[in-house]
């Protein structure tokens, strides 16, 4: 069971909406909470992580660092050009959009 106090103007709007639609005020309050709860949880977690970063308890990474760690640092190659990778190997991308790497081919996502 949950009881909430609302400002008078919000209570009036909620009451009018309920009367116009034939739904209860409780139904609308429940829907609002269910639809917004995940956003509130995300906001709380983001603020918690921001505090951890500012206090030096959590590390951040640049996009380039993440791409490099996942082997995606050459993902923008076009037209079959060869470009050296960090480890000295080369990657090739054919003009048909097929990416050949380490002896196997996979379709590039665009």
* Inside any domain, residue 87: yes
CA distance linking residue 30 with residue 102, whole number of Å: 54
Kindly report, residue by residue over 39-98, the tens digit of the pLDDT. Answer: 999 999 999 999 999 999 999 999 999 998 998 877 565 444 545 555 555 544 444 444
For residue 71, the SS3 value is: coil
Residue 93 lies in a domain: yes
User: First vs last Cα of the chain: how many Å apart?
Assistant: 50
Q: 3-class DSSP state for residue 100?
A: strand
pLDDT, residue 94, reads 46
Q: Alpha-carbon dihedral of residues 50, 56, 57, 59, nearest 10 degrees? A: 80
Together in a domain, 50 and 12: yes
In a domain, 67, yes or no: no
Query: Which domain range does residue 84 map to?
Result: 75-107
User: Residue 78 corresponds to which tokens in the numbers above?
Assistant: 């076009």
Contact 100, 92 (CB under 8 A): yes
């Amino acid at each position: 069971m949950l009881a909430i106090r609302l400002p008078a103007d919000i209570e009036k709007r909620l009451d009018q909406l309920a009367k116009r639609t034939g739904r209860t005020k409780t139904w609308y309050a429940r829907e609002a909470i269910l639809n917004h709860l995940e956003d509130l949880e995300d906001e709380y977690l983001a603020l918690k992580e921001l505090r951890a970063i500012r206090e030096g308890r959590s590390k951040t990474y640049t996009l380039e660092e993440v791409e490099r760690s996942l082997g995606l640092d050459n993902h923008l190659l076009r037209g079959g050009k060869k470009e050296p990778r960090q480890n000295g190997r080369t990657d090739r991308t054919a003009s048909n959009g097929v990416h050949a790497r380490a002896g196997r081919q996979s379709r590039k996502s665009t």
